[in-house]
């Protein structure tokens, strides 16, 4: 059993901490945000992630997981220190490493004896070397440590399953002693033969960016194909299926729609682009993926304008938005397509009311004057048009006759292709989706 200190209790830190405790380790979690630690100590979870409350409770009850405001004591008692703080985007697109470096400085000052410092935040290549330098510079004589780059691949909304049953674990290290400890941390995954990739530190850092940029490129690729499908009269759903059955391509991340958002793909693609520029390596595909993605919210609004008979018709229109989180099963609205679509609609003079099963509060923090409805159908009352932005399951089973009865102009834009043109036509709704219902005819 390994004693682990988890620094940062956000989506990644809290899930990783609870799951590492579930592996049998003893985990103490620390965050600079005292209010968050208070919430956690009361047994509440500060964000929405399916199954997390139960997992945290179970491990607290077993005495394997706790929360602390005492960093000194926590550093003293743990063999492994995991950094899982945010690395948001700087205005120039590079990764803001100030949180990571500040953690490095505070660990360094408190170090005594030997520790393994595990870097889980997504950081540009070379960052772990700088963390090592900073810790060494701050550390008192006699302190000793090794660095491990252990990027995280969990997805919000299915984070626990992703952590407990990952496709792979990447461990970048240059010390056998650190690797031995990491094997203890992830022991159940070694036992069930999860692929564990031991790499050098720089390759581990790069794997995370390369993987995210590749997935983002897949989404942007199918979105561009969808645009062409509309012009030539092909159906992107059928095209994606035909592509995805090829095992070299795979069916995942081939869903056309309003584009990718969230706390990772937008910032990680930009950080990779910046890294490429810094090192003189062209990242043309990544640049194109970002550019294609930025068009998608504008395309959603253009679709509504086309249904309404012109852009000028958006002025004064009451629009219902279903779904605010960047994807279903999370309350995260960072870089969510819904917020971009709302801003674009408002700029054209439309009035917006929105509903999301869990992300309303977070959206209101980002857009304080956003009108929120209490439920799906309340959101539609008195609305001219509906834009479905996030494919929550409860929106997949909308009663379309009821929708048609509520919408004054009976216009629906489906940004995730969760309905079919035939079903919508049957309900008497004018419908637009992505990559289907082309102009060219059959």
Q: Kindly report the CA angle at 186 between 209 and 250, in degrees rounded to 5?
A: 45
CB-based closest residue to ligand NAD? 10
Select 13 or 435, whichever has its Cβ closest to ligand NAD. Answer: 13
Closer residue to ligand NAD (CB): 150 or 318: 150
* Paired tokens of 319: 């629009």
Q: Which is nearer to ligand NAD, 156 or 414 (CB)?
A: 156
Pairing relation of β-strands 144-149 and 385-388?
unpaired
| Residue 28 to residue 283: CA distance in whole angstroms | 40
Residue 263 or 417: the one with the smaller Cβ distance to ligand NAD is 263
Residue 415 phi/psi, 5° resolution?
-75, -5
Residue 386 β-bridge partners: 320, 412
Both tokens assigned to 69: 């405001």
Supply the DSSP string of 391-427, one letter for each residue.
Answer: --HHHHT--HHHHHHH-SS-EEEETT--S-HHHHHHT
CB of 160 to ligand NAD, least distance (A): 12
Question: Which is nearer to ligand NAD, 73 or 404 (by Cβ)?
Answer: 73
Alpha helices, DSSP H only, in 23-139?
34-41, 52-61, 71-77, 98-110, 127-138
Q: Determine the Cα–Cα distance for residues 326 and 48; give it in Å rounded to an integer.
A: 13
Contacts of 400 (CB under 8 A, 6+ apart): 419, 423, 424, 426, 427, 429
Do residues 82 and 118 lie in contact, with contact meaning Cβ atoms separated by under 8 Å?
Answer: yes
DSSP state of 362: H
Q: With respect to ligand NAD, which residue has the nearer C-beta, 9 or 237?
A: 9
For the bound state, the minimum distance from the C-beta of residue 425 to ligand NAD, rounded and expressed in Å, comes to: 38
Instruction: Give me the catalytic one of 29, 78, 229, 264.
Output: 264
The residue (of 325 and 433) whose beta carbon lies closer to ligand NAD is 325
CB of 103 to ligand NAD, least distance (A): 5
d(CA 83, CA 166): 19
Residues forming contacts to ligand NAD in the complex (CB under 6 A) are 7-13, 30-33, 36, 84-87, 99, 102-103, 121-122, 152, 154, 156, 263-264
Active site residue 264: yes
Sign of the Cα pseudo-torsion (230, 232, 234, 236, in order):
negative
For residues 379-390, one letter each, b for 16 or more C-beta atoms within 10 angstroms of the residue's C-beta and e for the rest, the string is: bbeebbbbbbbb
Indicate which residues carry an active-site annotation. Answer: 264
């Amino acid at each position: 059993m390994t004693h682990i200190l988890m620094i940062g209790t956000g989506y990644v830190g809290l899930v990783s901490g609870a799951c590492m405790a579930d592996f049998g380790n003893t985990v103490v979690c620390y965050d600079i945000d005292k209010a968050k630690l208070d919430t956690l100590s009361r047994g509440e979870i500060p964000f929405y992630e399916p199954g997390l409350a139960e997992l945290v409770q179970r491990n607290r009850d077993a005495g394997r997981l706790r929360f602390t405001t005492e960093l000194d004591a926590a550093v003293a008692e743990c063999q492994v220190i995991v950094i899982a703080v945010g690395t948001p985007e700087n205005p120039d697109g590079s990764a803001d490493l100030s949180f990571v470096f500040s953690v490095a400085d505070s660990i360094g000052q408190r170090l005594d004896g030997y520790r393994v410092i595990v870097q889980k935040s997504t950081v540009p290549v070379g960052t772990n070397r700088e963390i090592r330098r900073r810790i060494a510079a701050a550390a008192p004589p006699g302190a000793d440590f090794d660095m491990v780059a252990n990027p995280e691949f969990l997805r919000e909304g299915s984070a626990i399953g992703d952590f407990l049953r990952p496709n792979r674990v990447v461990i970048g290290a240059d010390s056998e002693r650190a690797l031995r400890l990491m094997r203890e941390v992830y022991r159940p995954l070694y036992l069930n033969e999860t692929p564990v990739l031991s790499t050098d530190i720089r390759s581990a850092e790069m794997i995370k960016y390369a993987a995210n940029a590749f997935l983002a490129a897949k989404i942007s690729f199918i979105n561009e194909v969808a645009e062409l499908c509309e012009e030539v009269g092909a159906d992107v759903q059928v095209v994606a299926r035909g592509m995805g059955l090829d095992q070299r391509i795979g069916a995942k991340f081939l869903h056309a729609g309003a584009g990718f958002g969230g706390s990772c793909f937008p910032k990680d693609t930009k950080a990779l682009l910046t890294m490429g520029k810094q090192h003189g390596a062209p990242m043309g595909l990544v640049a194109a993926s970002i550019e294609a993605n930025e068009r998608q919210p504008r395309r959603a609004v253009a679709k509504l304008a086309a249904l309404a008979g012109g852009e000028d018709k958006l002025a004064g229109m009451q629009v219902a938005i279903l779904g605010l989180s960047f994807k279903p099963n999370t309350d995260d609205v960072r870089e969510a397509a819904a917020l971009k679509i709302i801003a674009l609609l408002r700029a054209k003079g439309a009035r917006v009311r929105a509903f999301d099963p869990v992300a309303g509060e977070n959206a209101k923090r980002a857009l304080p004057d956003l009108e929120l409805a209490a439920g799906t159908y309340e959101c539609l009352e008195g609305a001219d048009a509906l834009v479905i932005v996030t494919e929550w399951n409860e929106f997949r089973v909308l009663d379309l006759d009821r929708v048609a009865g509520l919408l004054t102009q009976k216009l629906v834009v489906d940004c995730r292709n969760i309905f079919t043109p035939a079903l919508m036509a049957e309900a008497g709704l004018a419908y637009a989706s992505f990559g289907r219902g082309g102009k060219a005819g059959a």
